[in-house]
A and B are shown apart, each in its own frame.
Chain A
Amino acid sequence: MSDERKIRVLVAKPGLDGHDRGAKVIASAFRDAGFEVVYTGLHQTPEMIVNAAVQEDVDVVAMSVLSGAHMTLFPRVKGLLDEAGADHMLLTGGGIIPEDDVDELEKRGVGRLFGPGTSTSDAIAYVNEWFATTHAN
């Protein structure tokens, strides 16, 4: 029987922006870090992302947003997750997001957001740490 529990992560590209280099790089890096990564493809609506997160029962939802629509997309996904009874999931992500917005989103319950030039190992460490603390028992 497996005692080591796999971390499941949904990597999603919300909105209409098609720049998926970051999403693919992080998805591969997460896989290489031992996570099970569900990738949903491009052009996802917040509803599609939350629906997938719930069905896949992931621990983490990671979104890549380069389109500048982060102030719409992150709160919307967060709200829908809470509504679906999935408020235990970590919503995190990355993209071109100004510092003030990062702070504001954090206040609204979004996890850490990573900017361009972030090392994938930082994101991996963050998820591992979050998982270890929230699943401590």
Chain B
Amino acid sequence: MTPSTLSSEHEALLERFKDGRVLGLARAISVVENERAGFQELLHTVMASGPQAKRVGFTGPPGAGKSSLVAAVATEYRRLEEHLGVVAVDPTSPYSGGALLGDRIRMNDISMDPGIFIRSMATRGSLGGLAATTKEVVDLMDAFGFDRVLVETVGVGQTELEVTAAADTVVVVLVPESGDAIQAMKAGLMEIADIFVVNKADRPGAPRLVKELRQALHLRTGSALKDIPAHHGVDLGQVMKKERSTSPSAEKPEGWSVPVLTTNALTNDGVETLLETIQEHRSWLEQGGELERRRRARAEIRIRDVVNREMRRIAWSSADARALLARGVDDIADGEGTPYSAAEAILGALLR
């Protein structure tokens, strides 16, 4: 790979991209999503100036109302005149390879706003909640000049931890119906959440879920007793909120206590507070050096990704490797080999 040369077709595309034309961005995303020849060069060219946009990920189980919440949050950011990219991921059917991408439906009210660009992606077999190239698509949107990029994971109930590699701030969205805090812990959501949101908070069960989550978060950080008020009748959430707003985040760069907020995306309740909290998290990230740490960790993941992908491509485009693969399969069938002996032969040939 020679990351500096671009095909003339991609030159033309880049031209439109740099002119800020939506069609240029849309087509560039397709080039990346389909990993068409030269897509890495294209990314290399546009990413030269490094990450600028604020990236916020939204994840959570199916039915949590993520799309509606993203739509409500996007509406609010538009009110603040931020330019927004939105990536929404839906699952690819393992049977047909096709996908139904329906997240735009919830975003119809904002879809005509020229300050918002929405793109739907199918997972195409990728696990972890994102499509294989979602991270790259976020980079493209960043490079296109959006102030902020919102990423919504697929939400089919599997563990969707990959969002941490695409976003600076991860919002985990739950609803009373999505189970208790124990399930959230089992799903690994405690580890990835920067902010918890209990959506559809008007439903029965919401207050209980909020309480459970708060307790679980305290247990996890070993401070189960630290913030619990001395007597009953005090709303823990209010206490925490006050704490955050009265003491600037800079004063406690050592930690971020994950807040549990409530929203109702349909009535917009709590959305403003969510935005404020995302902003507070942002300040904490920036002032405490955490953003730098996260970006470095992300960069490492990305380099590994690119290398892994290239190594796979190199390996399986080799005729020798494919021939050895076929032979290995035969050997195993004949009882004369194992996957390990076959792999050793293939790697031997590639590294020779």
A and B from one complex: yes
Q: B35 in the interface, Cβ–Cβ < 8 Å?
A: yes
Q: B104 in the interface, Cβ–Cβ < 8 Å?
A: yes
Count of chain B residues near A, Cβ 8 A:
31
Q: A69 in the interface, Cβ–Cβ < 8 Å?
A: no
Determine the distance from Cα of A84 to Cα of B102 in the docked complex, in whole angstroms. Answer: 23
- Tell me how many residue pairs across A and B have CB atoms closer than 8 Å: 84
Whether the Cβ atoms of A48 and B108 lie closer than 8 Å is: yes
Partner of B105, one of A6, A40, A47, A55: A40
**A residues within 8 A CB of B26?**
54-57
Determine the distance from Cα of A101 to Cα of B111 in the docked complex, in whole angstroms. Answer: 31
Determine the distance from Cα of A1 to Cα of B108 in the docked complex, in whole angstroms. Answer: 33
Whether the Cβ atoms of B27 and A57 lie closer than 8 Å is: yes
Q: B93 in the interface, Cβ–Cβ < 8 Å?
A: yes
Q: B98 in the interface, Cβ–Cβ < 8 Å?
A: yes
Whether the Cβ atoms of A54 and B108 lie closer than 8 Å is: no
Minimum Cβ distance to chain B for residue A25 (Å):
12
Q: B275 in the interface, Cβ–Cβ < 8 Å?
A: no
- List residues of chain B with CB under 8 Å of any chain A CB: 22-23, 26-27, 29-30, 34-35, 92-93, 95-102, 104-105, 108, 111-112, 117-120, 122, 124, 309, 313
Whether the Cβ atoms of A47 and B122 lie closer than 8 Å is: no
Whether the Cβ atoms of B34 and A38 lie closer than 8 Å is: no
**A residues within 8 A CB of B309?**
1
Query: Contacts A48-B111, A51-B112, A84-B23 given: A34-B104 contact, CB under 8 Å?
Result: no
Minimum Cβ distance to chain B for residue A115 (Å):
24
Whether the Cβ atoms of A31 and B22 lie closer than 8 Å is: no
A28-65: contact bitstring with B at CB < 8 Å (1 yes, 0 no)? Answer: 10111111111111001001100110111100000000
- List residues of chain A with CB under 8 Å of any chain B CB: 1-2, 5-6, 27-28, 30-41, 44, 47-48, 51-52, 54-57, 84-86
Whether the Cβ atoms of B35 and A31 lie closer than 8 Å is: no
Query: Contacts A31-B96, A57-B27 given: A36-B112 contact, CB under 8 Å?
Result: no
**B residues within 8 A CB of A86?**
23
Query: Contacts A2-B34, A39-B104 given: A32-B112 contact, CB under 8 Å?
Result: no
Whether the Cβ atoms of A38 and B112 lie closer than 8 Å is: no
Determine the distance from Cα of A24 to Cα of B35 in the docked complex, in whole angstroms. Answer: 30
**A residues within 8 A CB of B92?**
36
Determine the distance from Cα of A35 to Cα of B93 in the docked complex, in whole angstroms. Answer: 10
**A residues within 8 A CB of B108?**
40-41, 44, 48
**A residues within 8 A CB of B101?**
36-39, 56
Looking across the interface, which residue of chain B has its beta carbon closest to that of A8? B30
A–B pairs, 8, beta carbons within 8 Å: A31-B93, A36-B92, A36-B101, A37-B99, A56-B120, A57-B29, A57-B30, A85-B23
Looking across the interface, which residue of chain B has its beta carbon closest to that of A42? B105
Whether the Cβ atoms of A39 and B100 lie closer than 8 Å is: yes
Whether the Cβ atoms of B98 and A5 lie closer than 8 Å is: no
Determine the distance from Cα of A2 to Cα of B30 in the docked complex, in whole angstroms. Answer: 13
Q: 8 closest pairs, A vs B, by CB?
A: A41-B105, A31-B98, A57-B26, A34-B97, A34-B98, A57-B30, A38-B101, A32-B96
Whether the Cβ atoms of A5 and B34 lie closer than 8 Å is: yes
Determine the distance from Cα of A5 to Cα of B122 in the docked complex, in whole angstroms. Answer: 13
**B residues within 8 A CB of A2?**
34-35, 124
Whether the Cβ atoms of B98 and A30 lie closer than 8 Å is: yes
**B residues within 8 A CB of A30?**
98
**B residues within 8 A CB of A33?**
96, 98
Whether the Cβ atoms of A32 and B104 lie closer than 8 Å is: no
**B residues within 8 A CB of A36?**
92, 98-99, 101, 122
Whether the Cβ atoms of A31 and B99 lie closer than 8 Å is: yes
Looking across the interface, which residue of chain A has its beta carbon closest to that of B97? A34
**B residues within 8 A CB of A47?**
112
